[in-house]
Amino acid sequence: MRQQRFEQVYAPVWRRLEGLLDDLEARRRPAPSVPVQRLPRLLRQVSGHYATARARGYSPGLIARLHDLVRRGYRQLHKPRPNWPRAFLRMAVSGFPRALRRRRGLFAIACALFFGPMLAMGIGCAADPTLIYSLLDGAQVAEYEAMYDPSNTRLGRAPSRAADDDVMMFGFYVMNNVGIALRTFAWGLAAGVGSVFILAMNGLFTGGVAGHLTQLGYGAPFWSFVSGHSALELTAIAIAGTAGLLLSQAILAPGRRSRSAALRANAAESVPLVMGAVLLLVLAAVVEAFWSANAAIPPEIKYAVGIAGWILVAAYLGLAGRGIDPDDDGPDTDSLDKGPAEAKAAARGSLWT
């Protein structure tokens, strides 16, 4: 093969590797949208091209270009492993809230799908004592009434779990709530229908229980119990729904990208959202197990802590990470597979930018 034909055939591969290396070298760590998993395959291809160019005696300029790409590629491939504790801290401090703010429109939709049914069902059950039975059977209603009976010394715990200690309840809360969050996220792959259903049903269920217990006269023990961890737990479920809706966008409206490319990019951006939601749920489980269930703490103090919790969560999600690590907003993943003009057109027409 002549050199001119060789360059025509393989130049797109060289440009992809060059673009990927430019992104990796410009950052302290790769952004979620940078396809680092392509590096080994591209590097193997270009290494073969470099060996072929040398063996066939192609021009020194071409050989030097391929040598430089191979050298840079191996340097990135053998970089030291990341410091995972530091990476997790960085995600918690800035990556998670920044990722959520980038998707604040979807977050608003998830909140409407979750808190809207919650408010409507709460008002309905407070006005009509029989409405709760459209969601729960008699045994379930009786169990919730027993959990929040003012005479219960371990608020929020069913009589059957009265002997469980705080550590066991912490584990139960983590498994239950994280499971709900992960299902809410994963069902986004069903074109968003699953995420919408889980958000709405959990909203109806939560609102229904709150309204029924309030009209029954158990409002003080119920609201004092949920106030401490409600900001963490409820916000986390809405964030998990946001991640699920992000997956569904890639399927329903991929823009100018293929659905698979859009799904890869959106799945990568969903990772900090899901990790952040899990982190909030673990913190909520700590509060719920070791603080909320303690009936000896006056309700007024629990309410004050609950209000402070909502303020702190709102401040964290709205302000954390501002002015830090601007490189988190990485380039469009799919632009590495396009020429400059096509990449700019895709960025203008894509729903993800």
Convert the pLDDT of each residue in 163-206 to its tens digit: 567 888 899 899 999 999 999 999 999 999 999 999 999 999 99
Domain containing residue 31: 3-80
pLDDT < 70 positions in the chain = 27-34, 80-82, 159-164, 324-353
Q: Which two tokens stand for residue 272?
A: 């900090």
Helix (H, G, I), strand (E, B) or coil at 154: strand
User: Are 175 and 315 in the same domain?
Assistant: yes
Looking at residue 14, its pLDDT comes to 94
In-domain check, residue 51 = yes
Q: Give the whole-angstrom CA distance, residue 155 versus residue 262.
A: 46
Looking at 34, 52, 80, the residue that finishes a domain is 80
State residue 88's pLDDT score. Answer: 84
Same structural domain for residues 104 and 47?
A: no
- Tokens 């969601």 locate to 135
State residue 162's pLDDT score: 55
73 and 105 together in one domain = no
* 8 shares its domain with 154: no
Does residue 280 form part of some domain? yes
| Domain-embedded: residue 350 | no
Same domain, 288 and 316: yes
- Look at residue 341 and tell me if it is in a domain: no
Q: What is the pLDDT of residue 81?
A: 63
**Residue 339 belongs to some domain of the structure:** no
Residue where a domain terminates, one of 62, 80, 98: 80
Distance CA 59, CA 241 (A): 55
pLDDT at 30: 58
Q: Among 277, 288, 268, 269, which Cα is nearest to 317's?
A: 277
In a domain, residue 158? The reply is: yes
Of the candidates 168, 203, 179, the residue with the CA atom closest to the CA atom of residue 293: 168
Residue 93 and residue 74 in one domain: no
- Token pair of 146 as six digits: 């027993």
Q: Is 334 part of any domain?
A: no
Are both 156 and 62 inside the same structural domain? Answer: no
Report the C-alpha gap between 352 and 253 in whole angstroms: 10
- For residues 118 and 220, membership in a common domain is answered with yes
Query: Of 80, 97, 115, which residue is a domain's last?
Result: 80
pLDDT of residue 331: 36
Claim to verify: residue 19 and residue 168 sit in the same structural domain: no
| 122 part of a folded domain | yes
Question: To which residue do tokens 């705080």 refer?
Answer: 166
If one counts the domains in the chain, the total is 2
Treating both helix axes as pointing N-terminal to C-terminal, what angle do 138-147 and 193-216 enclose, rounded to 10 degrees?
60
Domain shared by 287 and 175, yes or no: yes
Question: Residue 294: what are its φ and ψ, rounded to 5°?
Answer: -80, 105
What is the pLDDT, as a whole number, of residue 33? Answer: 58
Q: How far apart are CA 235 and CA 120, in angstroms?
A: 18
Query: What is the rounded end-to-end Cα distance, in angstroms, of the chain?
Result: 41
- Whether 140 and 24 map to the same domain: the answer is no
Q: In angstroms, what is the C-alpha Rg of the chain?
A: 26
Query: Same structural domain for residues 311 and 182?
Result: yes
Q: Cβ of 36: how many Cβ atoms within 10 Å? A: 14
